[in-house]
Structure 1
Amino acid sequence: MSAEPDAPDLTRDSALSDLRERGYAGFFVGCAVLTLATTLSIAAMLLLRSAEFFSEYDAGSFLTGTTFRASNEVFGILPLALATLFVTITAAIVALPIGTLTAIYLSEYASGRVRAILKPLLEILAGVPTIVYGIFALVYVTPVLQLLFPGLPTFNLLSASLMIGIMTIPMVSSISEDAMSAVPDDLRQAGYGLGATKFEVSTGVVVPASVSGIASSYILAVSRAIGETMIIAVAAGTQANMPTVREAGGVIPYVHPGEVLLEPGMTITSAMVHTRGGELTGGSIAYDALFALGLTLFVGTLVLNVASDVVAERYREEY
């Protein structure tokens, strides 16, 4: 009776190896704990300082006020929120379709050589300092827009919005292209075997199969647009203008986009910059207002990121 050969031992269980592995695990856990602690510390700071602000300033006046003047201690966030909303929507209109189409080209149409050149160039575009985008918007984009919209002021939200959209294109295209490249080639070959064209495979097979990654790139790009500061601060001016609120059919209130985008304006982030740039002393109500504005942004981006995780989990495909 022949003895069966022993199974090879592929593990290294020496004392030194175990100690080293535990050290690696401890280091990685420490990095994760540090990241979580930093996030919780920021949230706690915003909550505590915002509580001090709302103890002195009425929360209803903050959320529904139509005037923001830190020098007069008037902190109505409504004009800032409207400017942030319209800037984000305009930037999304520019970035999402262009970024998605670019990702489809890189993933399905571009050769390996072209992809190796274009994708790093897009990532370099993402690394350009945002203040450069702001100066470009002020010096070059605004004069072009003034030809299309006579009377457009030098500082306006439209040129800033367009530059934010251009700035976030690489984020959408890069993440979406990675999601499309992860789709198995078997799905593409099955589409071609059924007689589909490359366009039909790209739009009918690859894009639906990678929709979770594409949706995540959209949410991240929108979050980036909401938090943009320097482009707005340079190109949009320093006036928190409240547009006229109209009523559709005498019932539904609305704001004309032109009264926001074609005028100077301040988003929540630019308001924080300009408020902090004045003669501000710690402990004053204007100082505490910075944390209330920051908390508003924090909650907004948190909601978007949670939505991104939900969408990614709902539509994630397992291959």
Structure 2
Amino acid sequence: MSLLLLLVAIGVFAIAGFVLGRRRALASVQGNTRALHSLPNYYAWHGAIMAALPALTVLVIWLIAQPLVIERQLAGFFPAAEFENDSQRILLMADVRRVAEGLDTAVAAGTLSSDEAIDIRTGGDASIREILGSVGVALGAGVTPQVLEAAQAYRAFASKGGALRNVLILLVSVAGLAYALRITTGDFRARNRVEVVMLGVLMLASTIAILTTIGIVLSMLSETIRFSSMYPFWDFVFGLTWQPNFQGNSQLGLLPLLWGTIYISFVAMIVAVPTGLFTAIYLAEYASPRVRSVVKPLIEIIAGIPTVVFGLFALVTVGPFIRDWIAQPTGLGTSGSSVMTAGLVIGVLNIPFISSLADDIINAVPQSLRDGSYGLGATKSETVRQVILPAALPGVVGAILLAASRAIGETMIVVMGAGAAARLDLNPFQAMTTITVKIVSQLTGDTEFNSPETLVAFALGMSLFVITLCLNIFALWIVRKYREQYE
């Protein structure tokens, strides 16, 4: 039974628990719902939860534990020195899984004899050389006898583990359903049990979000520490040259990348902030309901356009326009890839983020503030400038910093619109690059995480994390300071 069929079976038991739990509760009080402690649907949901939740919990634990157990069992097929190395072990296990999956293809394609196919399915002792010659047709060269033996063992362990998993999960689901039906009576506090489970689900969701953030930070921090042990960290932080060389003698200075990131983001925010904020003020305070109903969705369509489309727009339209009409006539540049190209397009991309959020925030300002301003004789423009915008300032600052974080993290538009040159230059019509682009370039291709040229990507990611964290702290400070003033 495949994993999908197993999940379908659990779903069937959950539906059965929902129906039978409700019927059991009503039958226990002869249909008198007033005699029930909880509403009938709570008993139904209790039956569904007991049939599904324990089984799904065991299934998740099994799916996490089984690969670890199988990997431990396969350690004897390879030299201890290779298997103890993390990177080599990952590559070996990837080859084993690839060959194990390819064995099915070889059997289905008829490239193996019937005896070899039986040995592959059962983990038998067919001649490795014979099978290796047949498997080479399906998997190509590079399949070693050790990998093939490990793949056969992997298939055997996975097959036995899958069968045991299916039996165990189905038994747990049936047992949970039977237990739920046995304790379902009119006096059973089904509502309390269901609400406790839902509270646990909500807490689990929030915990997963927190743990994910912690895991991301720790993974970047650990690799950044490894990088600092291979490359002088102060040379990275204050270096003025970015010239990675996988042959050695690399210069991995952060400052050119940081400058390009800040410069492009600055140009983007010059475009996005005034346009987005003025759009939000117009839609919230001046536009008629009919105009608002048309303009607001049209602006928000921009947020749904993939960034690669914006990148193509920068490459094909904006870049050549700036080069032919501004940069070349003024002698400031000859390339269509520039800070100005990427900044303008990223600014357009960020307009709907600022306008939509600022519009919602301005509309959330209490009407009493507007009425009080009008009552004192202020005009509409004075009310907007002196009452509404100060009251909405914390939210507006949050929207601007959210857009700034998006501009800092943009990659595709920078690749197509700004180029990949890491330089310190004030000319906005020169090609530059950002931290995110270099993270991608350093991790592209077959790389191993044992050189400073590769590990520098994690140091760059950590730098981006620190920058965005500082932006968020600044936004929180602004919100707290001015919220106290207007509350």
- TM tier, shorter chain? 0.7 to 0.9
- Supply the AA of the counterpart residue of 2:218: A
- Supply the AA of the counterpart residue of 1:149: A
- What residue number does 2:265 align with? 88
- What residue number does 2:420 align with? 238
Deviation string for 1:45-88 (max 9, x for gaps)? 01000000000100111011122122253211111011111111
Match of 2:235 among 33, 45, 61: 61
CA distance in 1, matches of 2:334, 2:232: 36
CA distance in 1, matches of 2:474, 2:393: 14
- What residue number does 2:166 align with? none
What runs of 5+ residues in structure 2 fail to find an aligned partner? 1-35, 39-188
Match of 2:213 among 39, 56, 61: 39
Matches within 5 A, 1:86-235: 86-146=263-323, 147-150=325-328, 151-235=333-417
1:218 shift after superposition: 1.1
1:13 shift after superposition: 7.3
Whether the 8 Å CA contact 2:230–2:451 is kept in 1: the answer is no
What runs of 5+ residues in structure 1 fail to find an aligned partner? 1-11, 244-256
Greater shift after overlay, 168-177 or 109-118? Answer: 109-118
CA 1:157–1:279: 2 relative to 1, 3 Å: farther
CA distance in 2, matches of 1:110, 1:196: 19
Match of 2:436 among 269, 286, 302: 269
Whether the 8 Å CA contact 1:100–1:173 is kept in 2: the answer is yes
CA 1:238–1:27: 2 relative to 1, 3 Å: same
Aligned residues: CA RMSD: 1.7
1:119 shift after superposition: 2.1
CA distance in 2, matches of 1:31, 1:152: 52
Deviation string for 1:79-135 (max 9, x for gaps)? 101111111111111111111111101110112222222222222211211111111
- Supply the AA of the counterpart residue of 2:291: V
Whether the 8 Å CA contact 1:49–1:291 is kept in 2: the answer is yes
1:277 shift after superposition: 2.3
- What residue number does 1:286 align with? 453
Match of 1:299 among 421, 441, 466: 466
CA 1:307–1:149: 2 relative to 1, 3 Å: same
Whether the 8 Å CA contact 1:145–1:152 is kept in 2: the answer is no
- Supply the AA of the counterpart residue of 2:401: I
Count of matched residue positions in the alignment of Structure 1 and Structure 2: 293
1:279 shift after superposition: 4.9
1:293 shift after superposition: 0.5
Whether the 8 Å CA contact 2:276–2:355 is kept in 1: the answer is yes
Whether the 8 Å CA contact 2:322–2:336 is kept in 1: the answer is no
- What residue number does 2:204 align with? 30
- Supply the AA of the counterpart residue of 2:452: I
- What residue number does 1:248 align with? none
- What residue number does 1:253 align with? none
CA 1:107–1:13: 2 relative to 1, 3 Å: farther
- Supply the AA of the counterpart residue of 2:326: L
- Supply the AA of the counterpart residue of 2:437: S
Task: Mark the structure with the bigger radius of gyration.
Answer: 2
Greater shift after overlay, 34-43 or 122-131? Answer: 122-131
CA distance in 2, matches of 1:22, 1:13: 16
Greater shift after overlay, 195-204 or 73-82? Answer: 195-204
Q: Which has the higher helix share?
A: 2
1:190 shift after superposition: 1.6
Greater shift after overlay, 292-301 or 183-192? Answer: 183-192
- What residue number does 1:5 align with? none
- What residue number does 1:21 align with? 195
SS of residue matched to 1:262: coil
CA distance in 2, matches of 1:18, 1:114: 49
CA 1:158–1:13: 2 relative to 1, 3 Å: farther
Using the size of structure 1 for normalisation, the TM-score is: 0.87
1:19 shift after superposition: 2.0
CA distance in 2, matches of 1:279, 1:61: 26
1:235 shift after superposition: 1.2
Deviation string for 1:194-220 (max 9, x for gaps)? 222221112221111111100111111
